[in-house]
Structure 1
Amino acid sequence: MLKTKNGILRLFIVTSCLFLAACSSEKIDSRKKPLDAHDFDLPGIYKRGSLVVLAENSSTSFFIYKGKKMGFEYEILKEFAEELGVTLEVKIVNNLDEINDILNRGEGDIVACNYTVTRERRAEINFSTPFLQTNQVLIQRKSSPETADQKVSFISDPIQLANKKVVVWEKSSYYTRLIHLQDEIGDTIQIRPTQSQEGVEELIEQVSNGVIDYTVAEKNIAEINDRFYDNLDVSLPISFKQNVAFGLNKKSPILQKRLNIWLSKFMNREAFSYIKRKYFEQIRGSIAGDVNFKSRRGTISPFDAILKAEGIKHNIDWRLVAALIYHESKFNPNARAFGGAYGLMQFMPGTGPKFGVYPTSPPEVQIQGGYKYLTRITKLWVGIKDEEERNKFILASYNAGSGHILDAQRLAEKQGLNPHIWNDNVEKMVMNLGKHAYYTDEVVKSGAFRGNICIRYVRGITSRYETYKTLVKR
């Protein structure tokens, strides 16, 4: 396993992620009856009281992180829905080859999947005012003395792609770009097409794991995913900048006009700048720096007294909670991270207040709220009798949100693995939740999830917990 970067999205993207506002999400039912003509466009949206977004499960479009629904495009459209005075409904489309057809059948109002504007797509659907510009970059493993794969050539110029195998989605703008790039370099690129079910983020992970050597992605997607892996290089552009916009049905001119007017104003507001920074700028560490405290025999943190008292009260080993806090914030009560997570235990904005914890709460209140939250999570896993195993499920749920871990447990049982054992059983299914064949399984309720981060999280805290147990008695 590769070591997680400092300040990584404690997912994911993102990670994750991830989870609840006044909206609902569901998978597309391809048998759904199309809308009548009068149900298209803005009047139909007002009639039903909801704006239906067709999204992909990805770090830029829509994902669930620690129980919170997130995504760059999701947050923009949530603001737009509020402007219209309707609720936002997200429908996950697992086969992007079909997304334009689904839109044109009237099963959604807007496409949000980091959609680049191309002539081919304009022939089928309309587009909004572009809200982002990005170019395509090559995804490859880094070349350095420590990480270089000696069997794979590091590409520093697009011309070096001659006779190299590059794996991309067949109906994507990446595929089209590589076709044109062949003409530009005057040689053949071995373009291996995949179906849309194998998403770009899954291909990026395959590059990191050495399954494939090269793929292509938009720079914004590449930079988000680069935070999850230490061994990727995403620096080589292979195209000019392209517009990214929302897709709309050609029968929705009123909605298109209203969205364009709103977007033109919204993109000049601080709210848009904040959302953009939140997803596309690196967030490393906390805004106030780490607390300079070194564990020594007999002590772990500046908060040992309150950790012990609350541990007794909730019947949770305080040393495990200390290990969790170190991983989350390094004992910094002022820490801030991705998605607005804050404090010692990195509560999400939608979760902390439920347990009486706010960004300005003192450390004692943060810890008390954290124990209450852990107690609630523990109740989900009372069926796991072995304490050591149960702790792993608790930690995984704290990081990923219980929904994703319950999905992994159901998948494990379906695959004939032990649903009450973490290592080599449920852990395997957590890793597979980022793969189309698994996150589209009928037993999965919370969608795709980038499992490698969660697995490292559990391993890291479990290891530190063992160290803390040698330092102090329970």
Structure 2
Amino acid sequence: MPVSMKTAGLLRAAALALSLALGACSQPAPPPEVSGELNVGVRNAPATYFTDQQGEPAGFEHDLIRAFAQAQGWSVDWVEEDRRETLFEMLDSHRIHLAAAILPRPVVKDRHLIAGPTLFETPIHVVYRSDDKAPRSAADLAGKRVALLAGSGHLPVLMREKRKHPRLSWVILERAWPEELLAQLDAGEYDAVLINGMDFDALRNAYPRLAVAFDLGEPQQIVWALAPRSSRALQNTLARFVEQVQRDGTIKRVYERYFGHVRRLGMQDVLGFLQRRPQRLPALRTHFHEAQTLTGIDWRLLAAIGYQESQWDASATSPTGVRGLMMLTSETADRLGVNNRLDARQSILGGARYLALLKDALPARIAEPDRTWLALAAYNQGMGHLEDARRIAQARGGDPDNWVDVKEALPHLSRSTYAAAMKYGYARGFEALSFAENIRNYYDILVRLEPAYDALLRLGRGSDEKARSD
């Protein structure tokens, strides 16, 4: 069909606009010290960048980059890509200033990019199914099905091992995420995989049957990659920042947020949790949803508390007299108006209100997620003993508002070392530490397996269903 002159003109204008837009996208980004914006390329991965349960960007490297930009007064423009190679190409064309994707220093150097200062070191784990016989060395991998991720920096290590063990072979997975690698191992597609320690730590509770057999080679130095010919000002600013956050404990605190709790549960703990979830949680889910509506606390966190306290057993009773699914004392139950601690709904609502009260009792300056982790310790040992632990943390030179410092102080509640700082006397602080850290693990698992609850969305669906029935 012929095209009118007017239509042709519109098509030419649209094509020109698209061409200009594409051209703008490929233009080199001006230096952040000039534009005030840091352009960062990231790979979606548990240790780098992901969307958390509140729908906000998160991740170990994300938080450090955000802190770096904030320290300079810059905004951040995030660009997500599946492949590390795509990030490297964007650095080559100067469309981004920095790439973060758990990048080993040799990988960055081999690409003739600028490697920033070392952020941390992570081992190269050889992971296998614990039901199988554990390989003890690279020699045991000869003739086995082995896989690794493209761009992980693990290939040179395997190449060196192959010189000693010619039967050693492997598969390189392109465009795969760390979780896909572990999922395929768990499904029996491979006998062993190579994965860096930080990625495995983030996922170990999702795959309880997988275990580390041994570490291969030397730990990897992880860096951020900068574009070729990046300004000396940007390089120096980054070097000063990394030195500062290593010295003042910022890296340690960010690590704690994401990985400080992940090694606490054993395989049987996780398998028991996964076994009981379909058996016991469905009957309780509505009560946890109601508790979230009442308090604003994620129902999955409340469910994690319920599991830690009673394994979701409404009739649970301890020798000390605490009872019910959320293990309330009689005094706490009375204060919260819980008439029957063995009633699952009353116990869940009471436990949720108690946690909310504890969170509200903490100083307003304490931010999340530290606020929640501190409140969990108070749930177990009481606010008085938590305040003692915070005083001990301060006496030890730490931050009483930060969980990473308070968790190190909690075991001292059962020792005389800091008796002068304790107003409330002896407490089993190590139990509060285990309590909070286990809940963090169970919560992580539930976030992966259970959908978030939106009371307003559910209300809207209910109205639509009622309208259809009418």
1:125-144 superposed matches below 5 A: 125-142=113-130
2:349 and 2:374 mapped to 1: Cα distance?
A: 9
| Residues 1:120 and 1:30: Cα distance change in structure 2 (over 3 Å) | farther
Structure 1, unmatched stretches of 5+, are 1-28, 143-147, 310-317, 347-357, 360-372, 387-474
- In 1, the alpha carbon distance for the partners of 2:44 and 2:189 equals 22
Cα offset for 1:380? 6.0
Larger radius of gyration: 2
The aligned residue for residue 199 of structure 2 is 221
Distance 2:139 2:356 in 1: 48
Aligned pairs for 1:118-129 within 5 A: 118=106, 121-129=109-117
AA aligned opposite 1:265:
Q
2:154 counterpart SS class: helix
Cα distance 1:119–1:96, how it changes in 2: closer, same or farther (>3 A)?
A: closer
Q: What does residue 186 of structure 1 align with?
A: 165
Q: Is the contact between residue 104 and residue 152 of structure 2 (CA under 8 Å) also seen in structure 1?
A: no
**What amino acid maps onto 2:198 in structure 1?**
N
Cα separation, partners in 2 of 1:50 and 1:320, compared to 1, 3 Å: farther
What secondary structure does 2:146 align onto? strand
TM-score by length of 2: 0.56
Change (3 A) 1:65 1:53: same
CA distance in 2, matches of 1:108, 1:251: 12
CA-CA distance at 1:274 after TM superposition: 0.8
| 1-structure distance, mates of 2:22, 2:140 | 43
Contact 1:54 1:92 in 2 (8 A): yes
* Higher RCO (C-alpha under 8 Å, 6+ residues apart): 1
Equivalent residues in 2 for 1:54-453, closer than 5 Å: 54-67=41-54, 68-118=56-106, 121-142=109-130, 148-149=131-132, 153-183=133-163, 185-195=164-174, 197-253=175-231, 254-282=233-261, 284=264, 295-296=314-315, 301=326, 302=328, 339-340=369-370, 342=372, 375-379=455-459, 381-382=461-462, 385=465
Q: Secondary structure at the match of 2:190?
A: coil
Partner of 1:34: 26
Q: C-alpha offsets along residues 186-213 of structure 1, whole Å, 9 cap, x if unaligned?
A: 3222211221x11222101221233332
Counterpart Cα distance in 1 of 2:159 and 2:350: 50
Distance 1:207-1:340 versus aligned 2 partners, 3 A rule: farther
| C-alpha separation in 1, matches of 2:63 and 2:165 | 43
Q: What is the CA deviation profile of residues 33-58 of structure 1, one whole-angstrom value per residue up to 9, with x for unaligned ones? A: 3234xx443334xx2x3212111111
Q: What is the alpha-carbon distance in structure 2 between the residues aligned to residue 89 and residue 332 of structure 1?
A: 35
How far off is 1:377 after superposition? 4.8
RMSD: 4.2
What's the offset of the Cα at 1:319? 5.7
Residue 378 (structure 1) shift: 2.7
Q: Which amino acid aligns with 2:73?
A: G
| 3-state SS of 1:205 partner | helix
Q: Distance in 1 between matches of 2:374 and 2:249?
A: 28
Residues 1:189 and 1:334: Cα distance change in structure 2 (over 3 Å):
farther
The residue identity in structure 2 corresponding to 1:225 is L
Distance in 2 between the 1:30 and 1:188 partners?
A: 48
Q: Which residue of 1 aligns with 2:6?
A: none
The alignment covers a number of residue pairs equal to 308
1:85 partner amino acid: G
Alpha-carbon shift at residue 222 of structure 1 (Å): 1.6
> Who is 2:418 aligned against?
none
Corresponding residue SS for 2:94: coil
Q: Which residue of 1 aligns with 2:431?
A: none
1:161 to partner: Cα distance: 0.9
Matched, 1:51 2:38: yes
Q: Distance in 2 between matches of 1:164 and 1:74?
A: 36
d(CA) in 1 for partners of 2:460, 2:64: 34
The CA distance in 2 between the partners of 1:295 and 1:172, in whole Å, is 47
1:97 shift after superposition? 2.4
Long gaps (5+) in structure 2: 1-20, 266-303, 317-322, 363-367, 377-400, 403-452
TM-score (normalised: structure 1): 0.55
SS at match of 1:106: coil
Q: Distance in 2 between matches of 1:166 and 1:324?
A: 49
Give CA-to-partner distance per residue, 1:217-251, whole Å, 9 cap, x none: 11222222213221111241011122100010012
Alpha carbons 2:309, 2:325 under 8 Å: kept: no
* SS state at 2:135 partner: coil
Maintained 8 Å contact 1:110/1:247? yes
Residue aligned with 1:133, SS: strand
1:64-99, Cα deviation, whole Å (9 max, x unpaired): 121132111111111111111012222111222211
Distance 1:161 1:201 in 2: 21
More helix by share: 2
SS of equivalent to 1:215: strand
SS for the counterpart of 1:230 is coil
Measured in 1, the distance between the counterparts of 2:136 and 2:354 equals: 38
